Structure 1
Amino acid sequence: MFRTMETKTRILPLLPLRGILVFPYMVIHLDVGREKSVRAIDETMLKDRAIFLAAQKDAQKDNPRPEDIYTMGTVAEIKQLLKLPGGTIRVLVEGLARARIRHYLQEDPFFKVEVEQFIEEQPRTSHIEALMRSLLHQFEQYVKLSKRIPPETLMAIMSIEEPGRLADIVASHLALKIEDKQALLEAIDVATRLEKLCTIVARELEIVELERRINIRVRKQMEKSQKEYYLREQMKAIQKELGEKDERLAEGEEYREKIAQAKLPKEVEERALKEVERLEKMPPMAAEATVVRTYLDWILALPWNKTTRDRLDIDVAAKILDEDHYGLREPKERILEYLAVRKLVKNMKGPILCFVGPPGVGKTSLARSIARALERKFVRVSLGGVRDEAEIRGHRRTYVGALPGRIIQGMRQAGSKNPVFLLDEIDKLSSDFRGDPAAALLEVLDPEQNHAFSDHYLEIPFDLSQVLFITTANYLYNIPRPLLDRMEVIQIPGYTEEEKVEIARRHLIPKQLKEHGLEPEQLTFSENAIRRIIREYTREAGVRNLERQIAAVCRKTAKRIVSGEGEKVHATAQNLEKFLGIPKFRPSQAEKEDEVGVALGLAWTENGGEVLAIEVSLLPGGKGKLILTGKLGEVMRESAQASFSYVRSRSRQLGISEDFHEKCDVHIHVPEGATPKDGPSAGITMATALASALTGKKVRHEVAMTGEITLRGRVLPVGGIKEKVLAAHRAGVKTVILPEENRRDLEEIPSSVKNKLRFVFVRHMDEVLREALIDEEPQTQSRLPCSLPPSMAWGQA
């Protein structure tokens, strides 16, 4: 290996180059327009015409700094200079030698640098001779394949004998990236430079060879297509002479016959015939022809004019609904109202019903029953997890796999223009960069717009006004507001224990016996067994888990019968654990006796209502700190703060020392600690427990309550009254305290439950305390450091 031995120091103006690099021995035109560069050219022309050329690292920068310019460049001589309009200068430069920047002497008004110029000696050793021959051979192959370099240039390069000059001139004729050219420029050693160049030319040779193969393949494909076209034209001429039909014309006639038989609307028929004409002009095997055929098949498969006749007999419909579902009075009433109106008005727009309720309450099966009662086709589309707008509106016909949206697919599946169309889990819709499917559903569910629903695939309006749309959701607040505005919401909150018993007896047990191959006499359930399954093995608003537990009993029974252990099984509350194991849930129960600092609250959960015992303990020696535990949400914590503030504001009336918050800490706990809890419903319950703990008065154990509290003691209404009252009934509560504004919600509660409870409606917290607390002497002063003397008892202040 030979390395450069001699160097020479020079001071030269610097011209930064953008997107280009100049090698020694290279002659090239440069257009100079930047102010600093023009001044550098002027300085050069006043002296010996020598200038230092170096490439910028980032070609986008207009005002490069020294760190933005490569240190290795080329000393060049300006041969010609021509001024162009607009202030630009075109210069012809010739590269002389490599050089490296040692120092920047100035940056303004132009760059001036001190460079170290390398003077190469070029002895031709056997190693260098071998590298030169390899490079010339590869470059000759490259020129022949690429055809970008004229043959005379190759001849000139072949005559070069200096190895360094050969490497630089070959590199200047290659279309390389600036980084690759800079690496060659920085290779001062000639042997190293030749080796790098051989590697780069070999790589470029592979790329050019690959391009040539691709071009040959494309040319062959084009020749094949032209040949096929020529042969098809010949075949067409022969078929014409023989009197035979063309394949495309025959297919077109077949589609025309189908379109005529389908009796499509005028606009749809015109569009279909236009597509048939396009199909006849295309080669049968073309990809576009496949798209057109699929499009015509979809148009012909849709029920543009097909409808089913509604069964408008209200008595029969009511009978079918009662057969399929027990309870659900409000949804059934709404369906019968629709039938009555439909009987009087022939062309009414279909309503959009939204069944909202917990899982397992029968929302989907109720929609099926509605379709059976009306004798309509039934279609179900699940929207859970749908996040692409094209799932609703369809895809544009711009590629082979395009399809209509789920609405049009459902209409094709139904085969009629007026099915019962169930949009399941509408609250599970989501959106992302592909659009908002909830917004796309607005057109589907708006009676003023859906008579001309436009699918992106069809691009023809489709009438959805006769469809009876039913949607289902678990949570109302997850449905977008504009979408909710289009729907009539029917709440299905859940079943009472009595309703679950009837559902199990009438529907679930016969269904599971049939599915498990059992006869009714082989397995029977006592009513107490069903109730125990409901109370101790399931905790839900619906009946899905109840059906699973009944199925488990059926499986155990089937195994006993098959193994010969017995022919008949009677499931009772006593032997239930043999089938289902130990109970999974502990039923909520009211407290057994009156206690201080414990109040029963009523809560709503996904599985129905629950009874919560809220506990308050006083910690003497504290500083009035309020401690909250039980995995409470933000709203529930705020209710606790509001209750604490209310009790402090009423301390004199309650018989509590006004400075109790300076003597003891207050700890509020809501079991169960592992279950997240939130909502404003526990406000009055927390205030009652606080008042009890601070006054020492016991809370009546048979009283449960729910309601939101304000700082002034007002009691505000809350939701989920039906579920909460049912939970109170299950727990053995005798009295339920409710906000006055929730009085109207009692209409939803079954009479069998309502008649067994005493309801107290309140407007202010004072009324709650009068009803919930037992008015007797408080605990001793030693136990209650926060109380006033007995003479200051509540009600005597």
Structure 2
Amino acid sequence: MTKKLTNMPVLPLRGLLVYPTMVLHIDVGRERSIAALEHAMLEDSTIFLVTQKDLRVDSPGKADLYKMGTLAKVKQMLKLPNGTLRILVEGLNRAEMVSYEDSGKFTTADLELFEDELHKDAETEALMRTVLSYFEKYAKSSNKITTETIELVLDIEEPGRLADVIASHLPFKINEKQEVLDITNIKKRLDHLMIRLHDEQEILNLEKKISTKVKQAMERTQKEYYLREQMKAIQTELGDREGKTGEIAELRKKIDSAGMPESTQKVALKELDRYEKLPAASAESGVIRNYLEWLVSIPWTEKTEDRIDIAYAEEILNRDHDGLEKVKERVLEYLSVRQLMNSLRGPILCLAGPPGVGKTSLARSIAESLDRKFVRVSLGGVRDESEIRGHRRTYVGAMPGRIIQGMKKAGTTNPVFLLDEIDKMSNDFRGDPSAAMLEVLDPEQNNTFSDHFIEEPYNLQDVLFIATANDLSTIPAPLLDRMEIINIAGYTEFEKVEITKNHLIPKQMKEHGLKKTQMAMKDEAITDLIRYYTREAGVRGLERQVATVCRKAAKKIVSGEKKKVTVNSKVLVDMLGKHRFRYGQAELENQVGVATGLAYTTVGGDTLQIEVSLTPGKGKLILTGKLGDVMKESAQIALSFVRTLTSDLGVDADYFDQHDIHVHVPEGAVPKDGPSAGITMTTAIVSAITGKAIKREIGMTGEVTLRGRVLPIGGLKEKSLSAHRAGLTTIIIPQDNERDIDDIPETIREQLTFKLVSQAEEVLALALDGGFNK
């Protein structure tokens, strides 16, 4: 049965719900609530009680209240000394809020009233008996409901009232009690209550089981505590006066909060128990303590959140580095895939290139762009496997390897980890560290990296490893296979100018205490500094020269000689002395028997002068210039090939038996080796025999076979940069290296002419002044 009521005052309840037929005290303190009560008392003392959804809301609106509430009668009202009202209310009927109106001082609502039917059919009677049975069983199990309450409930005849009274005595949350209030159908209400009573009984049974387990554990803990106290007393008598209780408790707390895998945690707790039983004076006690300290100090779960912002990463990389487009592109590709996949194994990148091109600083910029921690480990000179994998704990002074040490320093499981100078590792009788690095740098294995000291698997899968190397040839093939090689050839003159302007000069001025108003460097001086005072692939030597200029300028300013130093070409010569290098043609004029080759070294590309002279003799081949085995073989192959051209050279068949050929590569103190000097030696020998000069603007690179075929070479980009630095305009390269031309910066390609050859005769025709006719 339902009926309508209008303009009933509303009293919102916080953390409280009133069922029909319930009688209870309520304290009212809010001004609007007091105003609603006063209005109700002036009328017929009835008021609508409705519960707030969120008890933290101080001035609830319609959306903050449940729709279903209880129409109640205020039986008594008492004003307390603190200004609040204490009222005694009796719930009458369920009521649903139809409309809601704010009258100013308080809130009123139109209600639809629901009255429970008193008629009971057989199904209702069965539901009542089942609910009563469940409630009686629950009440006896919980020990929270009195016998009087149970007897009162058993005497209730009305089915609706029975459900409401039982619901009021169950440990329901407010929203769960509201669910019961919302059900106007009595059978559904009893059915809902039956299910909840069954659930509550199950929860009680589980609580009892847990309580029994806790009690047993407490008894065991008390026993252990008693035994520990005895053990402490014994340790104190044995000399451990201070005891280790506090220290062990602290270690146990750290182990629990470290987030290590369950298997590792078991090992740590087992070692802690051993440590607890050992006297402090025991040597093993210190070893175990050190081991536990390492276990809790390395990160197991701590992880920084990647900043996946392509635009930001590109901005950071461009801010810190000019050029290096290929490297930047690879980093942005990694971030793009990371954004799409939301997870990605850390790639193993290897930045290979000459010193001073910015490999280490690039790795630092990558870490900043990802918002990750950065840690650097130098591998130069490492020749002991334990430096990587750590020492076993049986050794005195044992400690983890550099990988675990680096992870501790980073403090997170996903740092950017720089393995600097990975090509400088060596090996001896203590093991091969490069073999130990195989597991570290294998994405399929490094999720269970094993350190000899830690002895537990450690996950390195989230680490972004970046290695740097100058010379890839010294890295073992299996280790090289695990890395993605990114070659950094060096910088063009244009890039060096930009780097000097944007990075080197501001950095050195700051380090030397110079302000922009005290020193300025003209563009002409920067260009001269690059051309005449440095000759390198990177910018490290260039930075040293800039530092020298800053020191000279600082001296002039401090001595009062000048207030501002403007460095132009003339001032640069005064500061740094005469030009150290010649810029322009490698040779000032065409020369006989002198060819310019292009070489690729660990410090970048370089030009190589090869000189040949002929003297009467017995056909000896004399090689000087500290050449390696490969270059010696190249000279012998070149001579053998030239001897097949006797008729084309216009010499007698016994010419080579009557002359000694001397091949010399200047700078004899510098070792030289490599498989790309064949055509250069061939050209120089032919030039010396025929007396034809070699064009000074031409450089060449390529290996030659006994049949005169020109074989492809490596490092074309580096060699092209060195040719540009030397002022050459034409480069002769093998036909098979045509595909590598695209890797050369466009500014260099525009200033160089590339001649592709497949036979040595083509080289001679291009390089010799006057050509070569076979």
TM-score category of the 2 structures, normalised to the smaller one: 0.5 to 0.7
The answer for the alignment partner of 2:553 in structure 1 is: 557
Query: In the alignment, which residue of structure 2 is the partner of 1:236?
Result: 233
SS of aligned partner of 2:494: helix
Note the C-alpha offset of 1:239. 10
Normalising to structure 1: TM-score of the pair?
Answer: 0.65
- 1:633–1:400 distance in 2 versus 1, CA, 3 Å: closer
Matched, 1:584 2:580: yes
Aligned AA (1:567): K
| Residue type of the alignment partner of 1:316 | Y
Aligned to 1:659: 654
Pairing of 1:263-302 with structure 2 (within 5 A): 263-302=259-298
Change beyond 3 A, Cα 1:613–1:263: closer
Equivalent residue number for residue 408 of structure 1: 404
**Structure 1: unaligned runs, 5 residues or longer:** 1-231, 777-793
Confirm or deny: 8 A CA contact 1:589 1:611 kept in the other structure. no
Aligned to 1:314: 310
Once residues 364 and 700 of structure 2 are traced to their aligned partners in structure 1, the CA distance between those partners, rounded to angstroms, is 38
Kindly tell me: are residues 703 and 577 of structure 1, through their superposed partners in 2, closer, same or farther at Cα, counting changes over 3 Å?
Answer: same
CA contact (8 A) 1:353 1:488 kept: yes
Q: Structure 1 pair 675/292, CA: closer, same or farther in 2 (3 Å)?
A: closer
What SS does the corresponding residue of 1:519 show, helix, strand or coil? coil
Letter in 1 for 2:724: H
Deviation at 1:400, TM superposition (A): 5.6
2:206 is matched with none
Who is 1:467 aligned against?
A: 463
Q: Which ranges of structure 2 fall in alignment gaps of 5 or more residues?
A: 1-228
The alpha carbon displacement at 1:380 in A equals: 0.7
- CA shift, 1:576, in A, is 1.3
Any idea what SS the aligned residue of 2:244 has? helix
Q: Which amino acid is 2:279 matched to?
A: P
- Mapped to 2, the partners of 1:390 and 1:499 lie a distance apart of 42
Q: Residues 606, 452 of structure 1: CA spacing in aligned structure 2 closer, same or farther, 3 A cutoff?
A: closer
Is residue 745 of structure 2 the alignment partner of residue 750 of structure 1?
Answer: yes
Superposed, which structure 2 residues align to 1:215-364 within 5 Å?
236=233, 247-364=243-360
Between the two proteins, what is the percent identity of the paired residues? 60
Contact map agreement 2:610 2:664 (CA 8 A) in 1: yes
Following TM superposition, by how much is the alpha carbon of 1:234 offset from its aligned partner in structure 2, in angstroms?
A: 9.8
1:237/1:606 CA distance change after superposition, 3 Å: closer
Runs of 4+ in 1 over 6 A off after TM superposition: 232-235, 237-240
**What is the rounded CA distance, in whole Å, between the counterparts of 2:579 and 2:748 in structure 1?**
25
- Name the residue aligned to 1:537: 533
SS of residue paired to 2:623: strand
**Distance apart, 1:265 and its partner CA:** 2.2
Quote the Cα distance in structure 2 between the aligned partners of 1:479 and 1:726.
Answer: 25
Q: CA deviation at 1:631?
A: 3.0
1:601 partnered with 2:604: no
Normalising by structure 2, report the TM-score. 0.67
What is the distance in 2 between the residues matched to 1:599 and 1:389? Answer: 46
Structure 2 partner of 1:632: 627
Maintained 8 Å contact 2:470/2:603: no
1:647-677 Cα distance to aligned partner (Å, 9 max, x none): 1101223333333214433333332344332
* One of 520, 523, 529 as aligned partner of 1:524: 520
- Per-residue CA deviations over 1:175-211 (Å, capped at 9, x if unaligned) read xxxxxxxxxxxxxxxxxxxxxxxxxxxxxxxxxxxxx
Distance of aligned partners of 1:665 and 1:430 in 2 relative to their CA distance in 1, 3 Å threshold? closer
Distance in structure 2 (CA, Å) of the matches to 1:568 and 1:451 = 58
Deviation at residue 520 of structure 1 after TM alignment: 1.6
- For residue 728 of structure 1, the aligned residue among 720, 723, 726 is 723
Q: 1:678, 1:774 → 2: CA distance?
A: 28
The equivalent residue for 2:414 is 418
Tell me which residue corresponds to 1:91.
none
For residues 333 and 257 of structure 2, what CA distance do their matches in structure 1 show?
38
Give the aligned residue type for 2:468: T
> Do 1:589 and 1:730's aligned partners in 2 also have CA atoms closer than 8 Å?
no
- Secondary structure of 1:404's aligned partner: coil
Output the CA distance in 2 between the equivalents of 1:609 and 1:340.
Answer: 33
Q: Contact between 1:361 and 1:541, CA under 8 Å: does it hold in 2?
A: yes
Assess if the C-alpha contact under 8 Å between 1:539 and 1:607 holds in 2.
Answer: no
**Partner residue of 1:650?**
645
Contact map agreement 2:360 2:420 (CA 8 A) in 1: yes
Q: What is the DSSP-based 3-state SS (H/G/I as helix, E as strand, rest coil) of the residue aligned with 2:527?
A: helix
Distance 1:447 1:694, change over 3 A: same
Whole-Å Cα distance in 1 between the matches of residues 231 and 619 of structure 2?
A: 102
Per the alignment, do residues 713 and 233 of structure 1 end up closer, same or farther by CA in structure 2, a change over 3 Å counting? same
Distance in 2, matches of 1:669 and 1:726, equals 24
- The CA deviation at 1:355 is 1.2
2:509 alignment partner in structure 1:
513
Deviation for aligned residue 1:584: 3.4
Distance 2:719 2:274 in 1: 66
CA distance in 2, matches of 1:281, 1:663: 91
Matched, 1:572 2:560: no
What are the Cα deviations for residues 717-747 of structure 1, in whole angstroms up to 9, with x where unaligned? 1122112212222333222110011111111
State the distance in 1 between where 2:398 and 2:709 align.
Answer: 60
Distance 1:599 1:670 in 2: 10
* SS of corresponding position for 1:661: coil
1:572–1:258 CA distance, 2 compared to 1 (3 A): same
Distance between the aligned counterparts of 1:265 and 1:238, measured in 2?
32
2:677 is the alignment partner of 1:682: yes
Instruction: Identify the residue that residue 63 of structure 2 maps to in structure 1.
Output: none
> Do 2:390 and 2:401's aligned partners in 1 also have CA atoms closer than 8 Å?
yes
1:712 CA displacement = 0.5
Partner of 2:542: 546
Change (3 A) 1:312 1:666: same
Classify the secondary structure of the residue corresponding to 1:386: coil
Q: CA RMSD in A?
A: 2.4
Contact 1:541–1:606 (CA under 8 A) maintained in structure 2: no
Letter of the structure 1 residue corresponding to residue 366 of structure 2: I
Q: What is aligned with 2:442?
A: 446
1:267 partner letter = S
Deviation at 1:445, TM superposition (A): 1.0
CA distance in structure 2 between the aligned counterparts of 1:253 and 1:695, rounded to whole angstroms: 90
Distance change (3 Å), C-alpha of 1:455 and 1:529 = same
Measure the CA separation in 2 of the matches of 1:729 and 1:239. Answer: 79
Q: Look up the equivalent residue of 2:489 and give its one-letter code.
A: P
Cα pair distance change 1:266/1:684, threshold 3 Å? same
Q: CA distance change for structure 1 residues 697 and 490 in 2, over 3 Å: closer, same or farther? A: same
Partner of 1:6: none
How many angstroms apart in 1 are the aligned matches of 2:766 and 2:392?
67
Please tell me whether the aligned partners of residues 647 and 691 of structure 1 are also in contact (alpha carbons under 8 angstroms): yes
Q: What is the DSSP-based 3-state SS (H/G/I as helix, E as strand, rest coil) of the residue aligned with 2:569?
A: coil
Is 1:428 aligned to residue 390 of structure 2? no
Q: CA deviation at 1:238?
A: 13
| Aligned residue among 763, 767, 770 for 1:772 | 767
CA contact (8 A) 1:702 1:733 kept: yes
Q: Residues 513 and 421 from structure 1, CA distance in 2 versus in 1: closer, same or farther, beyond 3 angstroms?
A: same
- Matches of 1:318 and 1:525 in 2, distance apart? 29
Name the CA shift for 1:639/1:346 in 2 (closer, same or farther; >3 Å).
same
Matched position secondary structure for 1:692:
helix
Aligned to 1:698: 693
Give the aligned residue type for 1:446: D
Q: 1:423 Cα shift?
A: 1.0
Q: Which amino acid letter does the alignment assign opposite residue 617 of structure 2?
A: G
The reply on whether 1:478 has 2:440 as its aligned counterpart is no
Tell whether the 8 Å contact from 2:232 to 2:243 is kept in structure 1 after alignment: no
1:491 paired to 2:487: yes
**Deviation at residue 608 of structure 1 after TM alignment:** 2.9
Question: Which residue of structure 1 lines up, in the alignment, with residue 172 of structure 2?
Answer: none
